[in-house]
Amino acid sequence: MSGEKTLLMYSRTVPCPDCSRTRQLLEENAVPFDEIMIDQDPAARALVEQLTGFLAVPTLVVARPNERRPLSPPRALEPGRSPRGVDRGPVITEPDMVGLRRWLAGHGFLAG
């Protein structure tokens, strides 16, 4: 992975099965990521709510190193649509494992 982008996983300290599955997939595939707990970081909480319309975790973000915002603006959600599993470019929220693998490969974090 080049130094031009990094992977952030917005999560929470309260047990979350989706977060656990996502973390396991990332670790099993040696994908480097930074995990940020929204229940311990008010700015992170606000960012996730801004990006998703909810406090939805895991929300994964492709960002520049040392930044927390997406590398580019994520595609907008249709009004009233859940962000769950929607590939929005540099952001994906609550993905299933197939969608997560596809999204990670598309951003160069996993071999296609």
Q: What is the pLDDT of residues 16-36, one digit of tens each?
A: 999 999 999 999 999 999 999
Average pLDDT over residues 68-74: 96
Q: Are 86 and 93 in contact (CB under 8 A)?
A: yes
72-81 burial by CB neighbour count: b if 16+ within 10 A, else e?
eebeeeeeee
Q: Structure pTM?
A: 0.94
Mean pLDDT of 90-111: 96
Please tell me the predicted confidence (pLDDT) of residue 40.
98
The CATH T-level fold of domain 6-71+85-106 is: Glutaredoxin (3.40.30)
pLDDT tops 70 at residue 87: yes
Q: What is the pLDDT of residue 111?
A: 85
Which pair of tokens denotes residue 112?
A: 């296609």
- The whole-angstrom separation of Cα 63 and Cα 110 is 16
Bridge partner residues of 21 (DSSP) = none
